[in-house]
A = this chain, B = another copy of it.
Amino acid sequence: MPEAFEQDYTLQQLQQVTQAINNGQFVQVRRILAETPPCDTALLLESSPNKIRKQLWQLVDPDIQGDVLEELSEDVRIGIIHQMDPELIAAATEDMDDDDLGEVLRSLPDDVYQDVVGAMDAQDRERATQALSYQEGSAGALMSTDTVTIRPDVTLDVVLRYLRLRGELPDGTDDLYVVDKENQFIGALPVATLLTNSPDKVVSELMDDEKETIPVSMDESEVAQLFERHNWISAAVVDDNNLQLLGRITIDDIVDVIREDAEHSMLSMAGLDDEEDTFAPVLKSSQRRSIWLGINLLTALLAAFVASFFEGTLDILPILAVLNGIVPSMGGVAGSQTLTLVIRGIALGHINNTNQKFLLGKELAIGALNGILWSLLIAGVVALWQWDFVLGAVIAFAMFMNLLAAGIAGASIPIILKRMNIDPALAGSVVLTTVTDIVGIFAFLGTATLFLT
């Protein structure tokens, strides 16, 4: 079954390793790990409960610990690093890419950071300072400074001889960068052009001098959008002001940004930290999740408080209590559909002030259409179930109003939050459900109070 061979292979390894650890056969685990490439070891660690993960890490060959750390997701990496001695951290970061080095160092507590930097040699310490000089989440923090640069006035033959002399190219080198004497970026010579043209042509004739560059302070999500839109494999990073070449960003780091951005929306809509590791310790996970539960408890109490205004009505008509959950629930679902789409639209750069009015109108129209459909249906069900046609009309009216409210709230809340610089994915759903709960309860119990008591 070739379709699943890779996953099966990893799964099999995982089972072997877990069993061996449980049996205390550490030598065998060490042997298995020695044959496992760093990227698979990273997957093994990420798929292991915390206790097994710690034991596994002790058995990873220190020479490849750096490579494994580079492959780990941030949360898991931080957990492991915080258990390592500063000297070992310094050793493991020696061969790391600049961007991973920066990420590791940024995650360290202050005192550990001092010890780690203290254990580095002068050259690495300089690299560390350099890596930390760019803001987290900026192009600078993503880039590697390892670039291949050439001059515009040489022939391809000279370039070819230079590359042979240089040996090894940085991973993902699809462009050589053409710079002037001040190290200003003036163009890119694609490796494909170098390979398919006569060696006596001159670089400046063939280079692409319209190739876009990335300003070092650009936000990483925006960099990712550029990569995605232009199908780039790598791009040059330049100083914001004088256009000096500072480094390059490669698609493998962008893939991480794209996955993280996409996951961020999904996880924060459920009130989860986007770094959350599936196998984090129980206490840490409980703590992280409890904030969201606390906020939700407040909104649920607020809804209960609103319902308490109608205690008199509920006293007379207990059937209202039975039906009271339906309208808020439908509003919540309809609202999150709109909210989810709008949050995604904002993330993809599709929503802006030329089309947001249109969007609001569209979502209002959908709310009205679905409102008509579901209020007719619920009216029928309730009228037949309770044999009470006024009650049917009351719940239908409340349903219609709440689906309209859900459309408006779902479309406008993320846009307003975004303008206030609040992350719509994180705050949007709690604000939304508060609106749909309260509108739903008011509309249902309020109308019932007017017409049924």
Contact = CB atoms under 8 A, between A and B. Distances in A.
Interface of A: 2-7, 10-11, 14-15, 18, 39-40, 42-43, 46-49, 71, 160, 163-164, 166-169, 171-174, 191-192, 194-198, 215, 217-219, 222, 225-231, 233, 240, 251-252, 254-255, 258-259, 262-263, 265-267, 269-272, 276, 278-279, 282-283, 285-286, 289-290, 292-294, 296-297, 299-301, 303-304, 307-308, 311, 314-315, 318-326, 328-330, 333-334, 336-337, 339-342, 344-345, 348-352, 354-355, 358-359, 362, 365-366, 369-370, 373-374, 377-378, 381, 437
A233 B251 contact: yes
12 contacts: A4-B222, A164-B197, A167-B196, A263-B344, A267-B344, A286-B370, A289-B334, A301-B381, A304-B323, A307-B321, A314-B322, A321-B321
Top 8 nearest A-B pairs by Cβ distance? A321-B321, A262-B262, A2-B215, A266-B266, A270-B340, A231-B252, A169-B192, A278-B345
Given A304-B326, A321-B321, A266 B366 contact: no
Contacts of A197: 164
Contacts of A222: 3-4, 6-7
Nearest to A76: B350
A84 B227 CA distance: 30
A440 to B, nearest CB: 10
A358 B195 contact: no
A265 B344 CA distance: 12
Nearest to A46: B350
Contact of A326 (B192, B300, B324): B300
Secondary structure class of chain A's binding surface, majority of residues: helix
Copies in the complex: 2
A127 to B, nearest CB: 21
Given A191-B195, A289-B366, A362-B285, A304 B325 contact: yes
A396 to B, nearest CB: 12
Given A48-B355, A279-B362, 20 more contacts: A2-B217, A11-B352, A14-B354, A49-B355, A166-B196, A168-B192, A174-B174, A228-B255, A233-B251, A251-B251, A251-B255, A262-B262, A266-B266, A276-B341, A278-B351, A279-B359, A294-B374, A314-B314, A314-B321, A320-B321
A190 to B, nearest CB: 9
A6 to B, nearest CB: 6
B3 A297 contact: no
B266 A344 contact: yes
A286 B283 CA distance: 43
A229 B39 contact: yes
Given A14-B354, A39-B230, A262-B259, A333 B365 contact: no
Nearest to A403: B293
A310 to B, nearest CB: 8
A322 B349 contact: no
Contacts of A46: 348, 350
Contacts of A18: 354-355
Contacts of A348: 46
Contacts of A293: 330, 333-334, 370, 374
Contact of A358 (B49, B319, B354, B365): B49
